[in-house]
Amino acid sequence: MLQVINPIKNALQQGWKNLPKKRIASFVGMFLFCAVATYASSKGAGGFTKATTEISSYQTPVSNLMKAIAAVIVLVGAFNVYFKMQNGDQDVKKTVMMTIGGCVAFVAMSEALPMFFK
């Protein structure tokens, strides 16, 4: 860092004649790069806003899809419980609880989905 600062300090004291042209060019290049990067990052906010509105437009269909998946879980779970009861299996209660838990989880996630986009 001092290798860059000392020649600039000396050049300011002695004039711009003694400052190497490569260092001036690299300084100007770095300055322009930083300016362009700052300008580009400020324009990215509009892109994020647009992406957010695009993703939030999928909110209702995804919520309905999750409720449909919960309905399928209930149907499959009901048949599973029925067959276990007919066969006399001992883990009917466990199957009922897993079916109800899966259904409640999907319905809760579908209802909680809009909270992520507010």
Domain coordinates in residue numbering, the chain? 1-56, 58-118
Which residue's structure tokens are 């509105």? 53
Residue 40: per-residue pLDDT:
64
Q: Name the pLDDT band for 58 (thresholds 50, 70, 90).
A: confident
DSSP code of residue 88: T
102's CB contacts (< 8 A; 6+ apart) are: 70, 73, 77
Q: For the stretch 42-56, what's the b/e string if a residue is b when 16 or more beta carbons lie within 10 angstroms of its beta carbon? A: eeeeeeeeeeeeeee
Tens digits of per-residue pLDDT, 22-41?
A: 777 787 788 777 777 776 66
CA distances from 71 to 54, 93, 97, 110, 112 (A): 27, 20, 15, 12, 17
Tens digits of per-residue pLDDT, 99-116?
A: 999 999 989 988 888 887
